[in-house]
A and B are shown apart, each in its own frame.
Chain A
Amino acid sequence: MAQEAVHEIYFASEKQLRIYKARRIITQTLLYAFLTLVGLFILFPFWYMIITSFKSTTAFEREELSGKLVFYLNSTNFSFEQFGKVFQGSFNFGIFYLNTIIVAVVSTAFTVVTSVLAAFAFARVEFKGKDLLFTILLGTMMIPGEMMMMTNYQTTVQFGWANTFAALIFVHGVSVFYIFYLRQTFQQIPNELFLAAKVDGYGHFAYLWKCMIPIAMPTIVTILILSLMGAWNAYIWPTLIASGKNPVLQGMGIDHSMLLVSNGLMSQFTSEFTNDTPARITGSLFATVPLFVFFLIFRKYIMRGISRSGIKG
């Protein structure tokens, strides 16, 4: 089904060539039409989100009741009022952003460091029990995350980590998938390189730092990006243990809510803005846009990383 240039195909007659060309135009038109249709289906919720965020609540409600929805902005319904709502009160997107960015950056750093070291140990170093340990870890990849949640909740509370950054960063900080993925990349670095570095006077860790990491940088960047994205979109665990105020900061007299973007959004939803749809939609917008921008910048890395992991299966 790959693209072929017309001149690569030979035809018995002029007429056949014309038929072929006509057929091709029809198929291509249909294809584009289909793809465009689906594209619109995909894009529409985003459009809706943006439009609604710029409408005033009263206008929106009026439109809803009347049974006529307006898909564009005009002088009657345009308003900035939603943006103000999202940033005030106890549910404040500024706080959500702050918390989420802190968690995302620190936990990604933590993930990258532990994954690099562990993948290095499995890929390059010989020690007893290496294979057994790796097989066990590989097995745990199959297990659904929900199995660990109850215990982790109790453990976290016992550590006194409820509603702290520590709980959000360390509990899910280490991922076997990243270790596995990075180990594969490390294994593709030829053994002779290690020996050459040895002859040049570099031990294991010096070799890791100076050679393996630079060579495996694309994979590390992919892990970095995927980890950041995962931290941004996390919901279940943050809801469980980070829905309240930070105890450490409270001891210092600061009232700091620990909500992240996702569970913050949800609580906004269920409390102040239950009946104010445009406000909620604006919240969704704010939850989505940063990652959007991030994606547009790093699109190549993200898509390459995911398709690569698909090949390995």
Chain B
Amino acid sequence: MTNVVNNSGNMNPNPNAVDWDARLEALGISVRKELRPKVRDFILPEWAKGWIALIPALIFLILFMIYPIINTFIMSFVNNFYWVGNSGSSFVITNYFAALQNSRGGVEVSWGIQNYIKVLADPVFQRALTNTGLIVIISVPLTIVIGLLLAVCLHSIKPLQGFYQTIFFLPYVTNTIALGMVFNAMFSSSAGSFINVFLSMFGVSPQQWLTIYANKWNMFVVIVIYSVWNGLAFKILVFMSGLSAIDRQYYDAARIDGSDKVTIFRKITVPLLSPQILYITITSFIGACKSYSQIISLFGKGAKDFGGSDKQVWITVVGYIVKYIDSNADSAAGRGAAGCVILLGIVLLITLAQFAVSKNRVYY
């Protein structure tokens, strides 16, 4: 195999023809063409390439994620903090020094944990904590159990399995706000609303569900129903994929050993599904701690209305934070920040607790 690519096979019988190859070579022009890529004089070192690829994402991550986290932490430890409009910056420390210059309403900014004290002592926050806790404790296990049950049932049928799966998945792709409003209408308090008509078939008189006159627990029922309705989709999907991944051999072996269906479920299905169950449990708990959108959409009166005449019947922790998020009232920002940190603490605690519990129960 030669290294020459060009085909100068033009055998010219004309004796006067010039032998171009020889002539060109003599002039220093190489006729042979080697198949090589371009020789690069400058090659960027590998570490430079890494940083160049990373910079776009990193800039925005630092600006809008890492910096805010640190900022919020610091903010939670500044008493009587407020945003000084002309400081031109969102950085807590800058605002702090600016606020030192011009104390507002005679109250000084200082370092301390007053924000935390104010938040924890605030009855509204305490209510938010209880509300969030109730929502988490009731709706999450309920949804997981129903979801698991549905996944198992779904896994046991063959025809129409995909059809049912799609139906169950629909709530995931729908807008929380939009459907919240639909539920709001379905549970309206007039005699002709869907729920009241439904209940009247059982002889229950029309109830107030979501209005300002409604009973707190009636509201809770609606909240739970909506949460379950919304939450089933994701869980069913993850459980289904987990179930499909369980090797049939386990079931065959169990059948040979003569186990009945319930035992198979308890001793084989659940343990082999435990990684998915753990994943779902952790993400569901964390998600429920952050409940906010579905509640305001149910009451439908706006971003800060949680039902009842004081608009705060079913306020949640995130709702509390949102209350102070763009306010510049006394200690508002500090309270919001403290609330965030407390929320973070709750989330971390729950996750750690779940990991500890799962150590002996999860099989990979």
Q: Do A and B touch, yes or no (CB under 8 Å, in the complex)?
A: yes
Pick out which of these stretches binds chain B: A11-19, A79-87, A304-312: A304-312
Do A303 and B169 have beta carbons less than 8 Å apart? yes
A266 and B297 in contact (CB under 8 A), knowing A127-B51, A150-B340? yes
Do B238 and A310 have beta carbons less than 8 Å apart? yes
Do A302 and B173 have beta carbons less than 8 Å apart? yes
The interface residues of chain B lying within 8 Å CB-to-CB of A52 are 185
A150 CB contact (under 8 Å) in B67, B182, B229, B333: B333
Do A283 and B50 have beta carbons less than 8 Å apart? no
A311 to B246, CA, bound (A): 12
Sample of 30 A–B contacts (CB below 8 Å): A1-B156, A2-B251, A41-B229, A49-B182, A52-B185, A114-B60, A117-B57, A118-B58, A121-B51, A121-B53, A125-B47, A125-B49, A126-B46, A136-B66, A137-B61, A142-B347, A146-B340, A147-B72, A150-B340, A151-B72, A152-B64, A174-B57, A233-B176, A263-B177, A265-B181, A266-B300, A284-B179, A292-B170, A303-B169, A310-B279
A109 to B56, CA, bound (A): 13
- A contact set with B: CB distance below 8 Å: 1-3, 28, 31-32, 34-35, 38-39, 41-43, 45-46, 48-49, 52, 63-69, 113-115, 117-118, 120-122, 125-128, 130, 133, 136-137, 140, 142-144, 146-155, 157-158, 170-174, 176, 179, 201, 203-205, 229, 232-233, 235-236, 239-240, 261-263, 265-266, 269-270, 277, 280-281, 283-285, 287-288, 291-292, 294-295, 299, 302-303, 306-308, 310-311, 313
> Which residue from chain A places its CB closest to the CB of B152 in the assembled complex?
A1
Residue B336, interface by CB 8 Å: yes
Q: How far is the CB of B227 from chain A (nearest CB, A)?
A: 14
Do B53 and A310 have beta carbons less than 8 Å apart? no
A117 to B232, CA, bound (A): 35
A-contacting residues, B269-302, CB 8 Å? 269, 275-276, 278-280, 286, 289-290, 292-293, 296-297, 300-302
Do B175 and A288 have beta carbons less than 8 Å apart? yes
Interface size class, chain B: 35 or more
A310 CB contact (under 8 Å) in B172, B193, B241: B241
> Which residue from chain B places its CB closest to the CB of A271 in the assembled complex?
B302
Interface secondary structure of B, over-half rule: helix
Q: How far is the CB of A25 from chain B (nearest CB, A)?
A: 13
Residue B63, interface by CB 8 Å: yes
- B contact set with A: CB distance below 8 Å: 36-37, 43, 46-47, 49-51, 53-54, 56-58, 60-61, 63-69, 71-72, 75, 83, 88-90, 150, 152-158, 160, 164-179, 181-183, 185-186, 188, 190-194, 196-197, 200, 206, 229, 232, 234, 237-238, 240-243, 245, 248, 251, 261, 264-265, 269, 275-276, 278-280, 286, 289-290, 292-293, 296-297, 300-303, 318, 321-322, 325-326, 333, 336-337, 340-341, 343-344, 347-348, 351
